[in-house]
Amino acid sequence: MQAHFAPPYIEGALRDAGLEPVVQEYATREGSYRNLAVRLPGSERGTIVMGAHYDGYMSTPGADDNASGVAALLELARLTARSSHRKT
């Protein structure tokens, strides 16, 4: 079984932004996988979910697959980590 984990850079960038990533590990027949999640509590009811994936698929390297999504999400985390939010 192959392990598929987030590059240390992603977790480090989230920590550098002042966030505490939560690791969500799970296994399938194809391998072990690991998601990273962070939660920014809001002052009102409701949740907004934003995400990006850092994996690749078959012949599509991850950098070609969704690197811009990961970069945008990391920048959003950096800009909003220390702000107050209405929605979680």
32 band by pLDDT with thresholds 50, 70 and 90: confident
In a domain, 86, yes or no: no
State the total domains in the chain.
1
**HSE-up of residue 31 (Cα within 13 Å, Cβ side):** 7
In a domain, 85, yes or no: no
Q: Residue 31's domain spans which residues?
A: 2-80
Q: Which two tokens stand for residue 63?
A: 């950098």
In a domain, 53, yes or no: yes
Give me the percent of the chain exceeding a pLDDT of 90.
49
Q: Span 7-24, mean pLDDT?
A: 91
In a domain, 75, yes or no: yes
Task: Work out the mean pLDDT of the chain and round it to a whole number.
Answer: 85
Which pTM value belongs to this model?
0.78
> 47-87: per-residue pLDDT in tens?
999 998 877 666 665 556 678 888 999 999 999 999 999 99
In a domain, 37, yes or no: yes
